[in-house]
Each structure stands twice: as C-alpha cells, then as structure tokens.
Chains A and B, each alone.
Chain A
Amino acid sequence: MSERNMSNTKCPMPSQDAKVRAHNFDEVATGYTLEMAVGEARRCLHCKNRPCVSACPVAIDIPDFIERVADGDIEGAYEIISRSSALPAVCGRVCPQETQCEGKCVRGIKGESVGIGRLERFVADWHREHGSAEVTKPEPNGHKVAVIGSGPSGLTAAGDLAKLGYKVTVFEALHTAGGVLVYGIPEFRLPKSIVSREIDGLKALGVDIETNIVIGKTLTVDELFSKGYEAVFIGSGAGLPRFMNIPGESLKGVYSANEYLTRVNLMKAYREDSKTPIKKSRAVAVVGGGNVAMDAARSAMRLGAETVYIVYRRSMDELPARREEVEHAMEEGIIFKTLNNPVEILPDENGGVRAIRCIEMELGEPDESGRRRPVEKPGSEFEIEVDTVIMSIGTSPNPLIRSTTPGLETNRRGCIVTNGDDGLTSREGVYAGGDAVTGAATVILAMGAGKQAAKAIDEYIRGKSE
C-alpha cells in the first residue's frame, strides 16, 4: 500500500480560466495529470464499510479502483470501473458526486471528500488514450432484445445485455445516437467525441444502433415482439418541455431549454459554419435552477450574450443543479436572480422579447418535496430587460409510446409505471427506466435503471427458455 496523503482538500481540477472559457465551447475542466491522480487517490482511507459504494447508483467498487490509481495501475482501475459502469468517461464528468459517492466519503467529515468523480474521469480518459481498444465479442446466446432510446439508460442496458451474449438493437428517433448526452449536455461539459467513443465501444460488442426510427410511430412495441425480440427496454427519456402558461411565452425569442440546447449541441449551432440558426442574444433570462438551466445559461454566454440571468423561485440553497455547475456558472459571470418568479414576458415592437417581469418570492413552509415552498411577495414585481428567455422548468413524458402500447400502465403524470427496482412494466417482457419512468432526473440514475433492467431481462429470458 502506498503512502497516505492526509491533505484535507482535494487536488484542484485544472480548468480553463473562467474569462476565457465563457467564450468558447471547449471543455471547462482539463483533467488531472497522472501525478495529481495518484496524489489524490492516496487520500482514500479505505475505510471498512465503504459508504461511497453504497451511495453509487451503479455500485462501482470505488476504494478498489482508487487503490489501483494510487499504485499507478490505471488500466487495472479501468477494469474495475468498467465492471459496474458502461460510461465512466461520461459519469466522471456529469454525476452529482456531492450527493452520491463523495457525499458519503469519510474524508468529507473533517475536510473535503476524495475527488472520486475526478479520479473516475482521469481513469476513463487515460484508458481512452493509452488503453487497449480491443473488445472481446461475447459468445452469442441466440436471444434478441430491443432497446428504445440511446441515452444513458438505453446504452447501459444495451451494453450489459450485449456482454451477456444477447443480440441487442437500439432504436433511436434522432439521427445521432446518445440521447441527452448528445442533444442536451453541451460540448464544454461533455465533449461529443467522448460520447461517440463510448457508443463505438458498444458497437464493437455487437450492439446494432438503428437511428431515425421512432418507436410509437415507425414501429410499435408490439411489432418489435413480432420481429422476434424477446424483451423490450424503454429508455425513451423525458418528453415535452413544460411552460409556465404566463403571457408572452410564444414570443419570438422564447425557447424551451430543450430546443435551445438541441440547436446548440445536436445541430452544432455554436459553430460558425452551422446551418442551424440560433438567436444572437444580448441579454438572456433562463428560468429554472437545474443542470439543464445551467447548461442553457452557460451556452448563451458562450454564444455571445453580454448578460445572462438565472431566474429561480427558491434560494441558492435549493438549486437542484450539481454544485460544480453552479460554481462554474458563477465564475463565468452568470447572474443568479434567486427568489424570483416570472409572471409575464413583455414584447418589443417586432413580436420579440423586451423584458421579463418577475415577482419576488420568500420561502414558506416545506412542501411535499421537503423543500420550503416559495411564496410571492405582493407588490414586488419588477422587470429585467432581456431579448431572450429560455424556459427550463422540466418536461412532461412523451406520449408516443404509451399511446401506442396497449396495456402499458402509466401514472397520472404520464410516466411509465414499473414494478420497483427491476424496471418491469405492466406488460410482460417490457421493461423501462430513466426519465421515461422517473421524470427528469440524472444520467447516473438512468444508468442505474438500465443496469437493473438488463439484469432482470436476462433473468426473464433465461427463465422463459428453461
């Protein structure tokens, strides 16, 4: 065992300077060096009850991989992570570690937790650059499984099933695979080359990816069964963007975060040579406080906006976004107008946006989510002058699959109902996971659901053929 590092703080993440990066789409954090990674890994105490592992939705053997890093055996560390996670380069970048593994780390009691996410990212990136790309194709077991959606849950389920020998076909509605990793999360937070590399890895395992197929339209779930698929996993993701139903939301210059980010990310509107238009904004208000809101705000800044506001109805403490994203956004100059709620978007003379009228809020009693309910302060309305408003207040589930799959139970919000952890729906052989089940959540929770469902699908098909 290598010598322990008792520093109370994490090795800082090398990053582009905030003033520079606020104007480019290159990745914000540039990643640890080998020396930094080894030093950080030596901060792990290897405590007996391993709270970090139980707080990880896919239960990565965190202390074991960290020990390999401390010993300089990065490929060994990669092998340990890849046993549990199909997308380590992605998770190291986008997981909310502070509420998961790092939130439970014993080192976090007296100082900062071990930088588990940063180490995971380092290991995955090291493997990409130095490791062997060779994949041993598993022995086919003769069974076919269909996966709907190529986002985090679908890719995880596909990878796990392929490793068990299943012939997996992933059906993707868009022209590029990756789901939210491609259309939603921006390049500066998750380079698309990393996503495509992970997808290439799945293809090397024998997974087929069929783009341009909308399940519920081009084909139905029942048709998949008649084509010989023995089980179906639905990972179709979150759905239609929500709006506030306040006056002015249909003005030119009002976007849903989904549309704004899809234009920027999937359609590459941030590039000079892109054929996809995006509004050149001067001042932008992003409504909402989640990761998607941070992504939209920081993208708007990079596209040249002079002033970008986050308008959020609760306080800084309740922001649902990952802590690092909030910190990065503040460093880049995003202005947080918390405890404010929009009441109207005001037009200019051309049908565009002139301003957003907000009302101040204060926090009252906790609501059913456990967070203190924001209450309007009467008479406190004021205007913020902006020419663009981006609504980032969540989504409601997509109707295409539930409306074309008889017997598929959904709840009153329209989310697919599953039987607890294994993702089984009300239809035999049909499993579901990710945002289609939970409503908008995180990449890692979707991956966890994909993983559980893959295990359940394997048990189901083996049980049937016995």
Chain B
Amino acid sequence: MFRILEKTALNPTVTKMVVEAPLIAAKAEPGQFIIFRATEDGERVPLTIADFDREKGTVTIIFQIVGQATMELNALNEGDCICDFVGPLGVPSHVEGLKKVCVVGGGVGCAIAYPIAKKLHSLGCEVHSVVGFRNKDLLILEDEFRAVSEKLVIMTDDGSYGEKGLVTDALKRLILEGNKYDEVITIGPLIMMKFVCALTKEHGIKTVVSMNPIMIDGTGMCGGCRLTVGGETKFACVDGPDFDGHLVDFDEAMSRGAMYRDFEAHARENCNLFREVK
C-alpha cells in the first residue's frame, strides 16, 4: 500500500506528501510522473514526481488543490494510504551534457522544476532559476531552489516578495545580461510556458517544456493526452511529458485542457469536502 509518511501544507492551496512507494522510488528520474487515485471511486490524475529517495523507498509529490481528485488526496493524512499510485511514467528529462541552464518555474510547476534543477546541479551544470508566484503566500521551495542554483530570481505578480513582474521579465533580463544558456527548461501554467517559448525563440535558445494534459491510464492506451508537436500527434504519457517548447501547439493544449472545466466546477459545488465546511 502507498502510505503517506509526511504531509505538509506548503501554502494554503499546495500540499507536499512523502509517499511510501519503493518500486517507484527505485526507478524514478526527474521529469517523470505518477498517476494516483486517492480513493476507490476516484479519478486517475497524473502528478509529476517532485523528489524521491531510493534508500528510504519514498516518492514526494507536491500538488495544488484544484479539483475533486486533488481535494480527495488532500483529505488523506499521515498514516493513511493512497488507493492507487503507479509509475514512474513518462520519459525522464534530458539533463546530460548541459553546462548552463535556466530553469523557469511558475506556481506549483516549481515542484516539477525543482528536481530537474537539483539533478542538473548535481551533474555540475550551472543552474539559474527563475520562479514566479502570484504573491508571497503562494511561494514554495525557496530554500530548495537556492541550494541548487547559482542564481535565483523570485518574481511575484504583486511584488509582495522578490521582484514584481513576470518570469519572462526576469528571463529576458538574464539573457540580455549576456548569459548564454544551453537550454531553458520551463514548467508552469500553459500560458506562462507559451510566453517563455516566444521569448527564447526570439533569442534562439532551445527550450524544453513539461506538459501535463488530461490523462487516464498514462501508459499509452487512451490517447487522451495527445498534443500537436511540430505538426505531429504526440502522446504526453509515452512520448513526453517533456517536449521542444518551440514546436508545441500551446493554444490547442489550452483549449483541450479546458474540456471538462464545467464538470470540475460542478464537482467543486457538490463536493462533500465543501459541504462539510458549510
């Protein structure tokens, strides 16, 4: 069973869990994901692996409470078991041979960006990290990023912490200051990744994005996670989740990502978690 060993609220809407999953911990690499089902009748939802400890046999996940499935997961406590937890899925991020990289994370996407920054740092790569949040209260993983980055820039939309502005403002400045990056790796909301890619394309810097579309099985069966990359149909679960950001059709991904928005909103209204609060 997949026991929750630690549960920490990183901010009011983002939770970190350390989960006992020795088979997954033994294989996990940065950039890969798991699929969880919190309860017997829950939805299958993919989450990128935030960290892992091969010796302890644990996998760390960090998730934002956005819909019914993440609410159900968040309702579990230390000592409880997650009903289903399968992985590691997807292709690991390509980190070999990179000398200087800028990692750009937005919001809870920083939870996915962090293990990649950590791995790059451990391989001797010079890591610059740009992390953005709506405000100071939503900030996560500051110390962790600082420990693995030669340079860390924190951006907030309202200026309540770090610098005021968007991650693209900071990235642009770093590029204009003369930093020559082998690659930019960006993970966050689709709209943020789209604009990071637009900027790096202008400057001719290879950019890798991590996509997190709607999935069911996550093993290459349902085809729900398909994306158009360079005009071809790709499946995020087996071909990704990392793709060349300059080739991804973000507008299509944003449209498909909103397919069940009404259903999700309805679920939130009817969710027992909220009913209990009332």
Contacts and interface: CB of A to CB of B under 8 A. Distances in A.
A256 B37 CA distance: 22
Contacts of A54: none
A91 B202 CA distance: 60
B160 interface: no
Contacts of B85: 212
B223 A258 contact: yes
Given A250-B227, A251-B255, A258-B222, 12 more contacts: A173-B219, A175-B86, A217-B87, A240-B235, A241-B223, A243-B233, A249-B233, A250-B233, A258-B221, A259-B222, A259-B224, A277-B260
Interface residues of A, number: 41
Interface of A: 173-175, 183, 211-214, 217-219, 237, 239-241, 243, 245, 249-253, 255-256, 258-259, 262-263, 266-268, 273-277, 279, 351, 398-400
A243 to B, nearest CB: 6
A218 B25 CA distance: 9
A249 B227 CA distance: 10
Contacts of A211: 84
Contacts of B84: 175, 211-212
Contacts of A273: 41
Nearest 9 pairs of A and B residues by beta carbon: A277-B263, A256-B223, A241-B223, A351-B255, A259-B222, A277-B260, A212-B86, A175-B84, A259-B224
A218 B24 contact: yes
Given A217-B27, A252-B258, A400-B220, A275 B235 contact: no
A410 to B, nearest CB: 15
18 contacts: A183-B221, A212-B84, A213-B86, A214-B87, A214-B89, A214-B219, A217-B219, A250-B227, A252-B256, A252-B259, A256-B223, A258-B222, A273-B41, A275-B41, A275-B69, A275-B267, A276-B43, A400-B238
B252 interface: yes
A131 B235 CA distance: 46
Given A212-B84, A218-B23, A259-B224, A399 B68 contact: no
B223 A214 contact: no
B8 to A, nearest CB: 25
Contacts of B219: 173-174, 214, 217, 398, 400
For chain B, which range describes its interface: under 10, 10 to 19, 20 to 34, or 35 or more residues? 35 or more
B272 to A, nearest CB: 11
A17 to B, nearest CB: 31
B218 to A, nearest CB: 8
Given A214-B87, A218-B87, A267 B44 contact: yes
A217 B83 CA distance: 19
Nearest to B233: A243
Contacts of B43: 267, 275-276
Contacts of B88: 217-218
Given A218-B88, A276-B43, A263 B226 contact: no
Interface string B229-270: 000010100100000000001001001101110011001000
